[in-house]
Amino acid sequence: MPVETRRPLISGNWKMNQNHFEAIQLIQKLTYLVGKDDFDAVDVSVHPPFTDIRSVQTLIEADDLRFALGAQNCHQDDKGAFTGEVSPVFLQKLNVSYVIVGHSERRELFGETDATVREKVAAVLRNKMTPIICVGETLTEREAGSTAEKVTGQVAAAIDGCSPAQVGGLVIAYEPIWAIGTGRTATPADAQEVCSAIRSTVGGRAGAEAATAVRIQYGGSVKAGTIQELMSQPDIDGALVGGASLDPEEFARIVQYRLHESPGV
Ligand code: PGA
């Protein structure tokens, strides 16, 4: 599959922000800012907190909006005695399309391991949704020169057990932990280098077709001013946007990166 057939995916990870009233307002504002031409060129997903998902789903379906609905996490089992957890089955029933899996905040703050991530990837696929698998190195790991080893190890662990066809349909988000919420972005060249290593790892595990098809996002302080140069890298197919996705004008400008006149604008 030629590179140009990979559709870009820009995803807004709202984290633990926006109650369901605020969520509706944010989607309504975005609806005025993101137009048909944008959706024709780019897939756009929004990932509100669980308590907002039903409200956002209702709005998307009532107004026929082209935002894809996403979640930020789910449990690896379909049901059971897991107090406080949310089943992937429930998300699928709400027409959720994408589920973020293994975000570094989940790994660091909630003890998710590569093994948990692998189970969640399987759970999301079993329920006919697309996982956005997050991988990334800490600053210490980057300074020690172990970025590629860390990131490709996380990728290999996450896709273990998936068929080549499943792997081709995945989204992998490369998010250097030191760049998340810090205002520091990896240089486009550094991000490209790691995303290329991710694609090679996918190729080694699942074959060339899966490697060409898999979509790789960059995440970590993405802003309207940095998106275009990131998106011009051959192995970067989209962005996972945190803080900037809460500002409708900024997020819309990120989605519209094609329209910016020159890199950095
Ligand atoms: P940020 O978050 O854009 O605020 O750095 C990205 C993420 O954590 O997905």
Quick: pLDDT tens for 191-248. 999 999 999 999 999 999 999 999 999 999 999 999 999 999 999 999 999 999 999 9
CATH number at residue 9: 3.20.20.70
pLDDT confidence of residue 1:
52
Q: What is the pLDDT of residues 233-260, one digit of tens each?
A: 999 999 999 999 999 999 999 999 999 7
pLDDT tens digit sequence for 115-144: 999 999 999 999 999 999 999 999 999 999
d(CA 170, CA 260): 28
Q: Is 71 domain-assigned?
A: yes
> Which of 14, 107, 222, 251 has most ligand 1 atoms within 8 Å of its beta carbon, as the pocket-test mutant?
222
Q: Is the pLDDT of residue 175 over 70?
A: yes
Residue 23 lies in domain: 3-260
In a domain, 72, yes or no: yes
**Is residue 239 in a domain?**
yes
Separation between Cα atoms, residue 76 and residue 95, nearest integer Å: 18
* Average model confidence (pLDDT) across the chain: 96
Structure tokens at 35: 């137009």
Residues 6+ apart with CB under 8 A from 22: none
Query: Using CA positions, which residue lies closest to atom 9 of ligand 1?
Result: 242
* DSSP track, 32-44: HHS-HHHHHH-EE
The secondary structure of 154-195, three-state, reads HHHHHHCCCCHHHHHCCEEEECCHHHCCCCCCCCHHHHHHHH
Closest CA to 11 of 92, 110, 96: 96
Q: Is residue 92 assigned to a domain?
A: yes
Torsion of CA 154, 158, 161, 167, to 10 degrees: -110
In a domain, 35, yes or no: yes
* 218 C-alpha to ligand 1 centroid (Å): 10
Q: Pocket of ligand 1, candidates 73, 106, 241, 254: which has the most ligand atoms within 8 Å of its Cβ, to mutate?
A: 241
Task: Answer yes or no: is 265 within a domain.
Answer: no
Residue 170 lies in a domain: yes
pLDDT, position 212: 98
pLDDT of 59 over the 70 cut: yes
pLDDT digits (tens, 9 = 90+) for 141-159: 999 999 999 999 999 999 9
Q: How many domains does the chain have?
A: 1
pLDDT at 265: 41
User: How much is the pLDDT for 141?
Assistant: 96
Whether 13 lines ligand 1, by a CB cut-off of 6 Å, is: yes
- pLDDT, position 215: 98
Question: Could you tell me which residues come within 8 angstroms of residue 137 by beta carbon, excluding any fewer than 6 positions away?
Answer: 146, 147, 150, 151, 176, 177, 178
User: In this structure, is residue 235 part of a structural domain?
Assistant: yes
Question: In angstroms, what is the span from residue 187 Cα to ligand 1's centroid?
Answer: 15
